[in-house]
Amino acid sequence: MGDDRGTTNGNGNGCFGCSLDNERGLGLVFERGEGMVEAQTSLGHAFAGYDGLVHGGIVSTLLDEAMGWAILELAGRFAVTRSLTVDFRRPVFVDKPLRIQARIAGEESDGALRVEAGVTDARGRLLASAIGIWVPVRASRVRPGKPASR
């Protein structure tokens, strides 16, 4: 996807979504592509909500995490979720390969960012999608040692 493609994650920060040091977390590693970020994963039974299905809260977390990484990687900013609207389209089964993608879709009149994300299965079927509104964090609020972009 061009020279701007890179792999990144939140090593060492304890994040449930992306830290490889959080043994109970998702351990997502995002790749930056042209206008989007993407991660691949498969979730075990520890993330189930009902009989072989990934819990809806975990699916929402996948989408939310991808949106945060899209903003960090594509806009070079930190932001927090103002709202998240999830559409659960098909069951998300445990132990099946998943692809999570997100992109920045636009900017609101107040400067908040509108971000879109989706979870697809190995056949490319859309399992869940989301639209989020994210509020950028002022640079003065970012802890020292945190890069503006990775």
- The pLDDT tens digits for 44-73 are 899 899 899 999 999 999 999 999 999 999
Cα separations in angstroms, 30 against 74, 87, 88, 109: 12, 22, 22, 29
Q: Mean of the pLDDT values across residues 10-33?
A: 69
Q: Letter for the amino acid at 83? A: S
pTM: 0.83
